[in-house]
Amino acid sequence: MSGIPFVKMHGAANDFVVVDHREPFLPEPADAFLRRLCDRRRGVGADGVLLLERDPELDFAMRYHNADGGRAEFCGNGARCLAHFALERGLGRAGVVRFRSGAGVQEARRVGGGAIELHLGRVAAGGVPETLEAAGHAFSGREFRVGVPHFVIEVAQVGPVPVAEWGAALRRHARFAPAGANVEFVARVSAAGGADPARVAMRTYERGVEAETLACGSGAIASALWVAGEGACSPVEVLTAGGDVLVVSFESVVDGYDVRLTGPAEVSFAGTWEQP
């Protein structure tokens, strides 16, 4: 195989290798190859790989692999980055693209300041509060499925949380077997005059990366819907570990919410990876 042309992108420091795969050329199965591509010491380095592929009805299809090479149904920041990538290549109309992912059909558009707004669609309201034992502690949280599963836990402050230890233990908890779950630790951010339930800080342990990531789009949605369940109104601002803010807007629908995610989707650099 000759060199692989790619674009390195990030959505709020959640970073991806993006490949135009409308004319397929990668080996199948691609897991081992994409794992090398994501290796931060031997490859390009990323939290995952986004493949732009053809769809018979929509502007494109989104195929996403985590850094471990495994395929995942969805990635919120990845979807916004791939939408930006597609728009730059002339797909869509009037700055809007419709595409298919493992979580269904979504729509994305350019908004002010270079951000991309993703209309995910309906997301279930989430599970009832439950307590799980892991890493010698009891964690009270709620499960949400935002394309992929998330377990959201409220903490007083996100900074002191040992995400690598607690997140890894919860990610592999028997409750979420066999696939596991992403884990969010969230805290309400104080503002002048008291707590502001419409702004939360979040840290994520992400399955498939098997580490903390600096942002997680689907995790931001899960965190926002958690605080919505506590009485917050739309929109909710989610402060990520990388310092960026993701904005989650939602409207109540039957048994859930109609959700939009807005935030940065930026190109870091482009290149060609020569496979060793």
DSSP secondary structure letter of residue 127: P
Q: What is the pLDDT of residue 193?
A: 44
Q: What is the pLDDT of residue 1?
A: 61
Q: What is the pLDDT of residue 89?
A: 97
Split at pLDDT 50, 70, 90, the class of 26 is very high
pTM: 0.95
Closest Cα to residue 77, out of 255, 206, 185?
206
Q: d(Cα 10, Cα 153) in Å, to the nearest integer?
A: 26
Q: What is the pLDDT of residue 133?
A: 98
* Residues involved in catalysis: 75, 216
Say if residue 103's pLDDT is above 50. Answer: yes
Give strand ranges (E) for 41-88. 48-53, 60-66, 71-72
Q: What is the pLDDT of residue 112?
A: 86
pLDDT digits (tens, 9 = 90+) for 153-208: 999 999 999 999 999 999 999 999 999 999 999 999 855 444 555 899 999 999 99
Q: Any idea what the Cα angle at residue 109 is, between residues 272 and 232, rounded to 5°?
A: 115
Q: What is the pLDDT of residue 192?
A: 41
Q: Which helix (H) or strand (E) holds 32?
A: helix 31-38
DSSP secondary structure letter of residue 155: -
Q: d(Cα 45, Cα 233) in Å, to the nearest integer?
A: 37
Q: What is the pLDDT of residue 275?
A: 74
Q: d(Cα 248, Cα 118) in Å, to the nearest integer?
A: 10
Structural domains present in the chain = 4-117+265-273 (3.10.310.10), 124-263 (3.10.310.10)
Q: What is the pLDDT of residue 175?
A: 97
pLDDT digits (tens, 9 = 90+) for 115-157: 999 999 999 999 999 999 999 999 999 999 999 999 999 999 9
pLDDT digits (tens, 9 = 90+) for 225-265: 999 998 899 999 999 999 999 999 999 999 899 999 999 99
* Three-state DSSP class for residue 144: strand
The CA-atom distances, in angstroms, between 266 and each of 58, 59, 83, 110, 217 are 23, 20, 11, 12, 14
Q: What is the pLDDT of residue 197?
A: 52
Q: What is the pLDDT of residue 141?
A: 97
